Each structure stands twice: as structure tokens, then as C-alpha cells.
Structure 1
Amino acid sequence: MTAPASRIEQHPDLVEMRDRYDRAAAAPSAQVLEGLTFLAGIYIAISPWVVGFNDVSTPLAVSNLVVGLAFAVLAFGLSSAYGRTHPLAWTAPLLGAWVIISQWVIAGAPTSTSVVLTNVIAGGVAALCGLAMMGLSVTGKSKGDGGGRGRAETQR
């Protein structure tokens, strides 16, 4: 009988899960997704200056700046250490949804067509990228894999 692992980092399931995350994050499609996610965050952050609602007193400009930078930092974290930051991936679609609805929730936000279109499109792209980032861990599994152990292993 072998002694149990003294550290959680050495647990076989955790090691397998991190390996799966690393394989998923190393795929070329995942790297494109990570770059697009990062760029979506940067665009959200600079959109007040691109579209022209960058007045310092505009709360929407401040919201876009903060949320865009947070989204870009999250995307950078997910791309550099996906196995360790994957539990935070659920926040990315929420940040994208906030960008979409913030223009109607924040008092005093400009509601011109360009502002609405920018926030809806950028927020939608961010939300979709966030959902795709959440799904990266699923792509690391093989199609016949029922969660890590095959049928032959569980019958032993």
C-alpha cells in the first residue's frame, strides 16, 4: 500500500487537469482566441477616445476604461497561465455583458448611435470571446473520454 500524496499539487487528477488545460491553451485556435480576447479588452478601454465620448466627466468613459483594462488583464492571465486562471474565466462573459448594458444603466451616459453600436458590438465580441475561453478546457478532452478515465481503467 502506498502512502497518500502529502501535497494537493501532486494529486493525479489535478496534474491531469493542468495537462489538459496546457494542451488546450497550446492549440493555434486557442492562441488566436486569446489574442482576440486581449484586443477586445484594449478596444473597450480606448473606445471612448475612438468614438468620441471621452469627456472625463462621462461615467461611461470611465466604465469602459476600467472594464476594458480588466478584460485585457484577464485575457493576458488566461493566455499566460490558463490552468491556474481558468476559475476566473466565468467573469469574462459578464464583463462583456456589462459593456453592452452599461450605456443604459449608467446615469448621464451619452446615447448616440455610435456609442450604442460601439458598446453593443464590442461587448458582444467580448462576451463571445469570454464564453469561448471558458470552453477551452473542454477542448482538451478526447471525444471518447468520459472525464479523465476510460472504461478499461475504471473496471480494474
Structure 2
Amino acid sequence: MQGRDDGTYPPGAFETGGRRLRVLSGHDVALVNGPVFLVGLFYAVSPWVLGFAGTHHDLAVHDLVVGCAVCLLAGGFTVAPERMTGLSGALGVTGLWMAVSPWVVGEVPGRATAVAGVVLGVLALVLGLVSTVLVRRANRVP
């Protein structure tokens, strides 16, 4: 049987495995993935649900693309959390963009457009910050 010291494993392989187990065993991190997916999903369909897709076509396309990107992040956090831990901060930045994008992309957004963008953006920002904190806590070496 081969062991640690016979050179068959790269340096740090066991530490990486331990880190992976800590991240995967942190159930708190996994609890954030569902709400992140729902925020992304509603952001993607909000132009049609709230009825501003016809009047703000550019913003509707933007919301669809960004919402799908957030859903993909949530899927990545679920499927490969050990590889996606560095992107939890990107969710917070995306949340900031979601909150200001109605005025940047849409220029003169309606009330529903602005409220949806700000509320969902703040939710994404908070979930991104929570995810970042939980990932850092899970990555700490005891």
C-alpha cells in the first residue's frame, strides 16, 4: 500500500482533500444555494412577470442574461462547491450591479423595474456576502 511519504501524491494533496471536506461538510454554505438560484430565476423572468419587457427591451434582455448567470453560479456552487468557492464574492458584486443596472441600462426605469432591480440586487449582495463568510469560515484550518 502506498503512503504519504513515498512520493506518489503531490505535495499538499491531503491538505486539499481536508479543505474540500471542510467546505462540503459546511451545510450552511449549501443552504445559500437555493435562495441564490431563486433570486437569479426571478431576476431573469421579472421583465415579463412585472410587465416591463415591452417598454424596456434592453433592460429585459439584460435581466434575462444576468439572471441566468446568477442561476449558473448557484448551480456551480451546488455541483462543485470546492471549485466555486472563489466566486462567492462575484455574487456580491453582481448583486451591486443588479441594484444599479435599471438606471444604467434602462436610463429611466419605471417603478416596478427599479424596485425589482434594487430588491433582488440587495438580496444577491447579502447572499453573496453570507456565502463568502461561510466559505471563509469553512476554509479555516482548525
- TM (normalized to structure 1)? 0.78
Q: What is the match of residue 17 of structure 2?
A: 15
Q: CA deviation at 1:60?
A: 0.9
Identity of aligned residues (%): 28
The residue type equivalent to 2:116 in the other structure is: T
Q: What is the match of residue 102 of structure 1?
A: 101
Question: Any unmatched runs of 5+ in structure 2?
Answer: none
* Contact 2:102-2:117 within 8 A present in 1 as well: yes
* SS in structure 1 at match of 2:20: helix
Q: CA deviation at 1:5?
A: 5.1
**In structure 2, distance between residues paired with 1:97 and 1:34:** 18
* SS in structure 1 at match of 2:5: coil
Q: What is the match of residue 61 of structure 2?
A: 62
Q: What is the match of residue 114 of structure 2?
A: 116
Aligned residue pairs, count: 139
Q: CA deviation at 1:86?
A: 1.1
Going by fraction, where is helix more abundant, 1 or 2?
Answer: 2
Q: CA deviation at 1:140?
A: 2.7
1:34-70 deviation per Cα after TM superposition (whole angstroms, max 9, x unaligned): 1111100001000101111112862111111000000
* Contact 2:41-2:67 within 8 A present in 1 as well: yes
Q: What is the correspondence of 1:2-151 to structure 2 with a 5 Å cutoff?
A: 2-4=5-7, 6-7=9-10, 11-24=13-26, 27=27, 29-55=28-54, 58-106=57-105, 108-140=106-138, 147-148=140-141
Instruction: Name the larger-Rg structure.
Output: 1
* SS in structure 1 at match of 2:53: coil
